[in-house]
């Protein structure tokens, strides 16, 4: 059975990097903000509002899971940790394959132009 169309649509750059950030280990929001900026080499600097909006949508879609909470030292705030779900990992891998296909098509076309 084919996936619904929306499951194959391209991810936004912010969503892509948020999923990439959680690919190795669960992270809390602030760690995701810092990691996205680092892994994107400064191209994507998320606001907290954007981050938590995307996290909420990814939770609703089943692409990530809330895995644990911990008290954050002296502030007493509770940090919520998120990780990729199996579905999220498959979605991230599919997006990488899509991007590689785009790059391969561009490389073939550029090679044909002799430049």
Q: Sorting pLDDT into bands at 50, 70 and 90, what band is 15? A: very high
Tens-place pLDDT, residues 98-113? 999 999 999 999 999 8
Instruction: Say if CB 42 and CB 15 are below 8 A apart.
Output: no
CATH of the domain spanning 5-112:
1.10.10.10
List of residues 6+ apart from 19 with CB closer than 8 A: 11, 58, 63, 64, 84, 88, 91, 92, 95
Domain boundaries, the chain: 5-112
Condensed to tens digits (0 to 9), the pLDDT of residues 82-102 reads 999 999 999 999 999 999 999
* The pLDDT of residue 73: 65
DSSP-assigned letters across all residues of the chain: -PPPHHHHSPPPHHHHHHHHHTSSS-EEHHHHHHHHHHHTTTS----HHHHHHHHHHHHHHTSEEEEEEEE-GGG-PEEEEEEE-HHHHHHHHHHHHHHHHHHHHHHHHHHHTT-
- Give the chain's radius of gyration (CA, Å): 17
| Average pLDDT of the residues in 38-58 | 96
């Amino acid at each position: 059975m084919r996936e619904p169309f929306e499951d194959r649509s391209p991810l936004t750059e912010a969503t892509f990097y948020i999923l990439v950030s959680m690919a190795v280990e669960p992270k809390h929001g602030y760690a995701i903000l810092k990691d996205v900026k680092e892994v994107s080499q400064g191209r994507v600097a998320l606001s907290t509002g954007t981050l938590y909006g995307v996290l909420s949508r990814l939770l609703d879609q089943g692409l990530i899971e809330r895995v644990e909470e911990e008290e954050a030292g002296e502030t007493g705030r509770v940090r919520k940790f998120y990780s990729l779900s199996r579905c999220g990992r498959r979605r991230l891998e599919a997006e990488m394959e899509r991007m590689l296909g785009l790059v391969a098509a561009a490389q073939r076309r550029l090679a044909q132009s002799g430049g």
